[in-house]
Each structure stands twice: as structure tokens, then as C-alpha cells.
């Protein structure tokens, strides 16, 4: 690869690949530099012994994922390749699964909530919140928001959902992004998964782009007309750079960010996520494809996903695939624990909710994310709009953290915005 490039995108996650795709469409020459040996970042799939293991993201929505669907249309990927999951999700309460969580049907079935809390749930689900402006809700944490309602709303809805899906502590993360995402994606009946694995979009984008794998950017130094990227002894000079890595990585590699950008970069913290995927010799019975566990039921496992119910081809015929997500209270510790210990701890804890699980395990695979999801603290939410309004520069950013949103749609939107900002800066230079 030439050491003088037009645009360098650091990171081949879904944000970086989207930015590169948009820039290439606009006629720019783009090189994507990825530290890992595959593309997709936190939206990836591992294929092993006939199992399709979604290592990070599990699903997308037919609603509210407008930028994702727009890029998919560019790639010729239609809805048939993202079938509706078509099964409900549930919450564990008093010894059994209560289906209908995050679904209007929950108002009838209860979805684990008492009658008074069900009325409150209607209020939560009816609310309209802005995905792109999470600060519009204010800086209340999830726990502060839920305190307006019956205690069940925190214990059997908000806490299990934010801990189970985002790895959040509801006392630390903001309600605005949670409510903005809920409003946008609609009920769980709208949720879909990629038929051929969650890496489908990343693979399709990478096929059309110039991507260098196993290229870790150690240092990025911004200048007035170009930026330099260092990796070992290699130096690359680029007219524009898009840093499409989580904010903690930006803080490590970007040597001289402008002073006005640093408060938001520093406020953009992440929570860790740890998952163990259990390949099974059978399919355990389950009425829902995903169960979240309230803290009173388990502080070891937060979510159980029956992947073979999410999509039948995730496991070979007759065999099962179950994913356990570590509870936020143990996730940080498990980042540095051996795979065998993580698998044993989580599978033992899950046995109570899926009897016979351990005896069905043929093999376990562990995935850890030190930067799992944006933590979306009130501090980050409060600084977002100011950061978004900054003037364009040589070094731009993409990633879910830019929108302070814990989902892939935010990453895709940020990629499109980063591309638009790079193009706007170039247009100005030519005037």
C-alpha cells in the first residue's frame, strides 16, 4: 500500500466500513486499516463445526435502523436476508419466564410486571424520544427515570434490559439513549437477524473496499492539511483520517486531538461485555428466544439467548446454541479470567434457568469486549451536541460512541456523518 493516501479509515467495524463505503461512492480513494484479522469488529460471526456464533451484536430492527437499511439497499441486501426473528423475549420472575417483554402484548400478559407496573409500562412504551438527540431527555440516569414508576419498572424491565442488552449499570447510564433506542426500534416483533450471520453487512462492504487486515494504528498525529498514522515502522500520510474505533482507543492512539474535542472524548467511556456461547448436542425447550434475568435472580448471567430459535441455521439440525451474557457486576473481572473458568461460571449459573444445560454442552466459546458498549453516562450525553457541532477537521471520528448510543445503527449513522464531514472539509479547501 502507498504510504501517501487520500483517506485512511482506522477500524473495519461497521462504522468505519460505512464511512469508507460512502467516501468511495463520492469518488474518494479510501484505505481501511484494521488491527484484527477479520472485519466487523463487534458485529461479527465465528463459524465453527456448523455453528454460526454471533460474537457481538445479536439482532437489528426492521424499524428505526434507517441508515443500516439504506446501506443494505446499496449493497443489494434485501429483507429476505434478514428474516424477522418472530419469537418473543421474556423476563425471569418467580421461577419462570414471563414472555412479552418490550412488546405491547406485555400489557396484557404482564411480562413479569404487577398490574400497577403494567400501566406504567404503557406510559414508558408510548413515550417518543429522539434517537439522534439523547440529550433532549435530560441527563437523568435509567434508575432516576424509573423511580417515577412502580418499583417493578426498574427491577423487571429497565434494569434487566439495560444490563442484559447494553451491560449498563442503571445507576450510572442515562435514560435518554435507552428511551431513544426503544422509541426507534419499536416492539421486539420488529426485530430481525441476518440469515447468514451478523457479519453479513461488514463482509459485503469489505468486498467492495480496500482493507488492510492486521494493521494496528499505534499513533495518529493530526496536522493542518494531513495526518500521519504510525504502525510499527510504517508511516502513512493521509489527507483525511477517520478514526472509527471506540473512544478509549482514540484516547490511546490520537496524540494531539484539538482541546475542544477532549472533554467529549474523555467522557465517552465504555462498559465491558463478556459472552459464552455453548454448542449443545440437543435443543433445550424454550418458549422465547431470549430471556433477561433480573438482578434478584442472578448477578452472574444477565441474558440467555437461544440462538437456534433466533435463527434455525445458527446450529446444525438437532443441535443447539445457547449464548450467556455475563452480568455487569462480573463482566470486568471476567475479562482476565480463563475461558474455561468463564464458561464454567456462567453455565453453572444458567443451569437454574435452563435445566440440563451443562450436560448438553459439547464445546464452549468465549468472547470478551473490553470496550463493549458506550456507557452513555450523563456527562457524555450532556457533551454530545457541542461535540457534534464542532467544525470539520483532518481527523474525523466514527463509532457508536459518537451518538452515545449502544447499538450498531448508531455506528452506521456515525459512519455516514463522518464521510459527509470529510467531503465538506474537502469542498471548503477547494473554494
Ligand X SMILES: Cc1cc2nc3c(=O)[nH]c(=O)nc-3n(C[C@H](O)[C@H](O)[C@H](O)COP(=O)(O)OP(=O)(O)OC[C@H]3O[C@@H](n4cnc5c(N)ncnc54)[C@H](O)[C@@H]3O)c2cc1C
Residues that bind ligand X (CB under 6 A): 10-16, 33-36, 41-43, 56-60, 216-217, 244-246, 249, 253, 273, 275, 369, 372-373, 399-400, 407-409, 411
Instruction: Provide the minimum distance between the beta carbon of 228 and ligand X in the complex, in angstroms, as a whole number.
Output: 14
Minimum CB distance to ligand X smaller for 46 or for 107: 46
Instruction: Provide the minimum distance between the beta carbon of 400 and ligand X in the complex, in angstroms, as a whole number.
Output: 4
Q: Are 314 and 268 in contact (CB under 8 A)?
A: no
Q: Which residue has the cell 469508507?
A: 20
Minimum CB distance to ligand X smaller for 117 or for 162: 162
Minimum CB distance to ligand X smaller for 53 or for 357: 53
The x, y and z cell numbers of residue 151, run together, are: 418499583
161 sits in which H/E element: helix 159-166
Instruction: Provide the minimum distance between the beta carbon of 62 and ligand X in the complex, in angstroms, as a whole number.
Output: 12
Minimum CB distance to ligand X smaller for 33 or for 345: 33
Whole-angstrom Cα distance, residue 92 to residue 297?
Answer: 7
Closest CA to 65 of 87, 53, 80, 82: 82
Minimum CB distance to ligand X smaller for 2 or for 37: 37
Instruction: Provide the minimum distance between the beta carbon of 348 and ligand X in the complex, in angstroms, as a whole number.
Output: 21
Minimum CB distance to ligand X smaller for 244 or for 322: 244
Instruction: Provide the minimum distance between the beta carbon of 162 and ligand X in the complex, in angstroms, as a whole number.
Output: 12
Minimum CB distance to ligand X smaller for 153 or for 273: 273
Phi and psi for 272 in degrees, rounded to 5? -80, 155
Instruction: Provide the minimum distance between the beta carbon of 193 and ligand X in the complex, in angstroms, as a whole number.
Output: 8
Instruction: Provide the minimum distance between the beta carbon of 261 and ligand X in the complex, in angstroms, as a whole number.
Output: 17
CA-angle at 259, arms to 253 and 262, nearest 5° = 55
Strand pairing of 320-326 and 270-280? antiparallel
DSSP-assigned beta bridge partners for residue 52: 47
Closest CA to 415 of 6, 4, 12, 133: 12
Instruction: Provide the minimum distance between the beta carbon of 117 and ligand X in the complex, in angstroms, as a whole number.
Output: 25
Alpha-helical (H) ranges within 268-377 are 307-310, 328-334, 339-350, 357-360
> Is the four-CA dihedral 420, 247, 407, 342 of positive or negative sign?
positive
> Is the four-CA dihedral 402, 404, 405, 406 of positive or negative sign?
positive
Minimum CB distance to ligand X smaller for 100 or for 246: 246
Minimum CB distance to ligand X smaller for 113 or for 201: 201
Minimum CB distance to ligand X smaller for 209 or for 373: 373
Instruction: Provide the minimum distance between the beta carbon of 116 and ligand X in the complex, in angstroms, as a whole number.
Output: 30
Phi and psi for 41 in degrees, rounded to 5? 55, -120
Q: Are 91 and 157 in contact (CB under 8 A)?
A: yes
Q: Are 393 and 260 in contact (CB under 8 A)?
A: no
The x, y and z cell numbers of residue 8, run together, are: 485512511
Altogether, the residues listed in the chain come to a count of 431
Q: Are 173 and 129 in contact (CB under 8 A)?
A: no
DSSP-assigned beta bridge partners for residue 396: 242
> Is the four-CA dihedral 15, 18, 24, 30 of positive or negative sign?
positive
Instruction: Provide the minimum distance between the beta carbon of 231 and ligand X in the complex, in angstroms, as a whole number.
Output: 7
Amino acid at each position: 500500500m502507498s504510504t501517501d493516501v487520500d483517506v485512511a479509515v482506522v477500524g473495519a467495524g461497521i462504522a468505519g466500513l460505512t464511512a469508507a463505503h460512502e467516501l468511495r461512492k463520492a469518488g474518494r480513494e479510501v484505505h481501511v486499516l484494521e488491527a484484527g484479522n477479520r472485519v466487523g469488529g463487534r458485529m461479527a460471526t465465528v463459524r465453527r463445526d456448523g455453528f454460526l456464533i454471533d460474537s457481538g451484536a445479536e439482532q437489528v430492527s426492521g424499524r428505526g435502523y434507517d441508515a443500516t437499511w439504506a446501506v443494505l439497499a446499496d449493497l443489494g441486501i434485501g429483507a429476505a436476508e434478514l428474516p424477522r426473528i418472530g419469537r418473543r423475549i421474556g423476563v425471569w420472575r418467580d421461577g419462570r419466564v414471563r414472555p412479552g417483554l418490550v412488546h405491547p402484548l406485555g400489557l396484557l400478559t404482564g411480562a413479569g410486571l404487577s398490574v400497577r407496573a403494567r400501566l406504567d409500562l404503557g406510559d414508558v412504551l408510548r413515550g417518543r424520544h429522539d434517537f439522534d438527540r439523547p440529550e433532549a431527555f435530560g441527563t437523568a440516569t435509567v434508575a432516576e427515570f424509573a423511580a417515577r414508576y412502580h418499583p417493578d419498572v426498574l427491577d423487571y424491565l429497565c434494569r434487566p434490559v439495560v444490563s442484559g442488552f447494553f451491560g449498563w449499570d442503571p445507576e450510572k447510564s442515562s435514560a435518554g439513549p435507552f428511551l431513544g433506542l426503544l422509541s426507534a426500534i419499536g416492539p421486539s416483533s420488529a426485530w430481525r437477524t441476518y440469515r447468514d450471520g451478523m457479519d453479513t453487512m461488514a463482509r459485503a462492504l469489505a468486498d467492495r473496499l480496500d482493507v488492510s487486515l492486521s494493521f494496528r494504528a499505534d499513533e495518529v498525529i493530526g496536522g493542518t492539511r494531513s495526518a500521519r498514522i504510525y504502525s510499527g515502522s510504517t508511516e502513512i500520510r493521509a489527507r483525511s483520517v477517520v478514526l472509527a474505533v471506540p473512544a478509549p482507543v482514540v484516547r490511546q492512539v490520537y496524540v494531539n486531538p484539538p482541546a475542544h474535542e477532549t472533554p467529549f472524548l474523555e467522557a465517552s467511556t465504555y462498559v465491558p461485555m463478556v459472552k459464552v456461547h455453548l454448542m449443545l448436542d440437543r435443543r433445550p425447550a424454550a418458549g422465547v428466544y431470549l430471556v433477561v434475568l433480573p438482578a434478584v435472580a442472578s448477578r452472574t448471567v444477565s441474558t440467555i439467548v437461544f440462538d437456534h430459535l433466533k435463527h434455525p441455521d445458527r446450529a446444525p439440525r438437532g443441535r443447539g446454541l445457547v449464548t450467556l451474557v455475563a452480568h455487569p457486576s462480573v463482566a470486568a473481572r471476567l475479562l482476565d479470567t480463563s475461558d474455561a473458568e468463564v464458561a464454567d461460571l456462567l453455565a453453572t449459573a444458567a443451569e437454574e434457568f435452563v435445566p440440563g444445560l451443562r450436560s448438553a454442552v459439547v464445546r464452549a466459546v468465549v468472547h470478551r469486549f473490553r470496550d463493549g458498549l458506550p456507557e452513555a453516562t450523563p456527562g457524555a450525553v450532556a457533551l454530545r451536541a457541542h461535540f457534534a457541532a464542532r467544525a470539520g477537521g483532518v481527523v474525523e471520528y466514527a463509532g457508536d460512541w459518537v451518538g452515545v448510543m449502544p447499538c450498531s445503527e448508531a455506528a452506521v449513522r456515525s459512519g455516514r456523518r463522518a464521510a459527509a464531514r470529510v467531503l465538506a472539509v474537502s469542498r471548503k479547501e477547494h473554494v
